[in-house]
Structure formats: structure tokens, C-alpha cells
Amino acid sequence: MKIILLACMAAVAVAAPQLGQDQTLRQRPIAILKDERQDLGNGEFFYTFETENGITESRRGYRGSKDQINMEGSYSFPLPDGTFAEVRYVADENGFRAESPLIPTPHPLPAHAIEQIRFAEEQRARGVTWPDY
């Protein structure tokens, strides 16, 4: 048991970050420039914040058609190249949907697949059916 404990402590020591004389683990705290929150009751709310390094978020909650709380909002943060990533989203009775140029999109269908889909739709429109096996 002592050997296992000693091995675990050695692993932690080896995995710890190695600091040079001019390095530090502590980073300067990021100032919050804006922090507004409002609870409107019944689950409805609004908040927004912004930090000095460019991180922002804004969100609004409101009642949905099935008495659930829907949300919509956006957030952004700086990227290493100096540009900003922005994501807009909605979460409601239709699910969660996010929009951003950074979100990957599926590859377009190849021409032969589009042709097969068109052919199947054409057959379906003419009433062609196939037995279920």
C-alpha cells in the first residue's frame, strides 16, 4: 500500500508544471467590465457580461409555448489570431440550435447521391412502391 501511495505521489510530482525563473502559474485576474442581471420572475431572466479580454455573453430566458423556459443568446471570445469567435443560439421547444461560422457543416452530397434521391422521389411521385422484406 505504501509503495502505491509513493508511486502516486511521484507521478503527481513528475506531472506538475515545471516553472522557470520568469514564469508563474498565477495569471493576472481578468476584470469584468459589465455584469448586468435581471430576474423578471416566473423563470424569465436576462443577463449580459463583458470582460476586459473580450469575452462577452448575453442570454435571455422566456416562457415557451409548453410553459417551459426558452433561452436565446450569444457569446464571443478572442481567438489566438486576434479575431473573435461568435456563437448565437436558441433553445426552445424545437431543441437547441446554434449558428456560427466556426461550427462545422456537413460535406455536400456527391452528384450521384443527389441523382439517386431525385430518382427515388420521382418514382415515389408516380406511385411506385417496393415490398417490405
pLDDT digits (tens, 9 = 90+) for 28-55: 888 999 999 999 888 899 999 999 999 9
Each domain of the chain, given as residue ranges in start order, spans 26-102
Task: Please give the Cα distance from 59 to 14 (Å, whole number).
Answer: 42
Q: Per the confidence metrics, is the pTM higher than 0.85?
A: no
Q: Determine the Cα angle at 74 with ends 73 and 78, to 5°.
A: 165
Q: How does pLDDT run across 67-107, given as a tens digit for each residue?
A: 889 999 999 999 999 999 999 999 999 899 999 988 888 88
Of 20-29, 46-55, 120-129, the range with the lowest mean pLDDT is 20-29
